[in-house]
Chain A
Amino acid sequence: KNQVEQSPQSLIILEGKNCTLQCNYTVSPFSNLRWYKQDTGRGPVSLTIMTFSENTKSNGRYTATLDADTKQSSLHITASQLSDSASYICVVSDRGSTLGRLYFGRGTQLTVWP
């Protein structure tokens, strides 16, 4: 069964600290993996996309890693800011359909305290 599991479910950190969010998936065949940021009451916004051959990709203070062998990804946030408070969703796409089927994790709810 194609699944995407994220941990932790929720995380509280102090402003300025770093944190790492985890994503494990069983989706096969694999096309790409995206991390989305979803602010409360808003739609998700893509942060990074990683394909099979990519190990790491950065977007400002966000750095995503991918280990396609172990089917794991992480999202590292550096020097957190209050505006980083949001849900971070790992989304994996399979290669098997023209629809580009997406499998969503439940997200990690990050809260940054001043």
Chain B
Amino acid sequence: EADIYQTPRYLVIGTGKKITLECSQTMGHDKMYWYQQDPGMELHLIHYSYGVNSTEKGDLSSESTVSRIRTEHFPLTLESARPSHTSQYLCASSGKDSNEQFFGPGTRLTVL
């Protein structure tokens, strides 16, 4: 079982609110990722990080931002949530010499 955690698991919030989705891993992995996944669709990479103080945008344009101040922590923030942000957000991590990604359980976000 991969040691990667996401909180909250479910979040229902009103339009315009600021939210932060938490992701932590205890495996000492350098690389971390955020994906967005809609029902029946493939995962889309929205952010990734090679290590501390390194963050890059993924393939899918996203209004969210991320930070990587500590190796184990990779939070995602939405400054002003909108209904179009409703989706499942999955965090993942991988080791230095591997591209196997270990996924967290996900956060199901609903913006009303």
* Bound complex: CA A93 to CA B100 (Å): 9
**Interface of A toward B, CB cutoff 8 Å:** 4, 9, 31-32, 34, 41-46, 49, 89, 93, 99-100, 102, 104-107, 109
Closest residue of chain A to B41 (Cβ to Cβ) is A106
- 24 contacts across the A-B interface (CB closer than 8 A): A4-B42, A34-B100, A41-B108, A42-B105, A42-B106, A43-B4, A43-B90, A43-B92, A43-B104, A43-B105, A43-B106, A44-B90, A45-B2, A93-B99, A99-B48, A99-B99, A102-B99, A102-B101, A104-B42, A104-B43, A105-B42, A106-B40, A106-B41, A107-B42
Closest residue of chain B to A3 (Cβ to Cβ) is B42
Shortest CB-to-CB span from B94 to chain A, Å, is 7
- A32 in contact with B99 (CB, 8 Å): yes
B47 within 8 A of A: no
* Bound complex: CA A32 to CA B90 (Å): 22
Q: How many A-B residue pairs have CB under 8 A?
A: 49
Q: A43-B92, A104-B43, A105-B42 are in contact. Are A31 and B106 (CB under 8 A)?
A: no
* Bound complex: CA A49 to CA B101 (Å): 12
- A41 in contact with B100 (CB, 8 Å): no
Closest residue of chain B to A32 (Cβ to Cβ) is B99
Shortest CB-to-CB span from B39 to chain A, Å, is 10
0 or 1 for each of B43-65: is its CB under 8 Å from A? (1 = yes): 10100101000000000000000
